[in-house]
Homo-oligomer: A and B are copies of this chain.
C-alpha cells in the first residue's frame, strides 16, 4: 500500500514539474530557449562571513579568498566554491566544475540563453537555487539565494560567477531578466570570478536584488523564471547608451 502511495506521489511530482516546465516555456517562448527547473536546497554551510577581507588579492589572479579551512599553500589550488556546503576539497581551477558536478550534484546546462526556473520560492530563508551554465567556452555558476538581511524580511539575491579568474570574467557580460505581470526587470553586469566569494558578492548586494513583493509579482504559482544570457563584454564597455 505504501509502495502505491509513493508511486502516486512520484507521478504527481512529475506532472507538477512538467506543468511548471510547460508554463515557463510559454512565458519564455523565444525560439529554442532551454528551460531548466531548479529545485531549492537548504544551505547546510555555516558561513555567513566565511570570506575574510582578502578580496583585494583576487585581482592578481589565482589565490582564492574563500578558504574556510586551513590556508592553501599551493597557489595553484583553489578550495571548493560550492555555496551550499563547507567542503574541505581543494584542487586546480580546471577541475572545479567536475568537482561541483560529481560531489555536489550541481547540474550543468549548455546554451547562450537559458531560462532558470526556481521552484518553491515560498520556502524559508536561507535557501539556495544553484546551477552551472556552460556557454562561450566557459562555465558559469548561477546562484539565487533567499536570505534575511533584515530579520523577518527575506529578500532574493541572484548573481552569476565565472568558474575562472577575474581577468577572464572581465571578458563577459551576463544578463538576468524577469518578465511577468506587465513588469520587466533586467540586471546586466560583468560576472565576478568564482575566486571571489559568492557569499560576499550576494551579501554586498552587488547583484540582482528582489524584495518579497516583487518576487511574488514575478512568480507564477511559486516558481520564478529568470531568463539568462551571456555575451562577450563589448556591450557594457561604453556606458553611453541608455
Contact = CB atoms under 8 A, between A and B. Distances in A.
Nearest to A217: B206
Nearest to A240: B29
A90 interface: no
A70 interface: no
A242 B227 contact: yes
A95 interface: no
Interface residues of A, number: 41
A233 B28 CA distance: 19
Contacts of A9: none
A232 B133 CA distance: 36
A211 interface: yes
A179 interface: yes
Interface string A225-242: 001010001001101111
A122 interface: no
Contact of A206 (B27, B173, B214): B214
Contact of A186 (B115, B149, B186, B227): B186
A123 B224 CA distance: 35
15 contacts: A27-B239, A28-B242, A29-B240, A33-B242, A113-B242, A150-B153, A173-B182, A182-B236, A183-B187, A183-B189, A183-B206, A185-B187, A205-B214, A209-B214, A227-B242
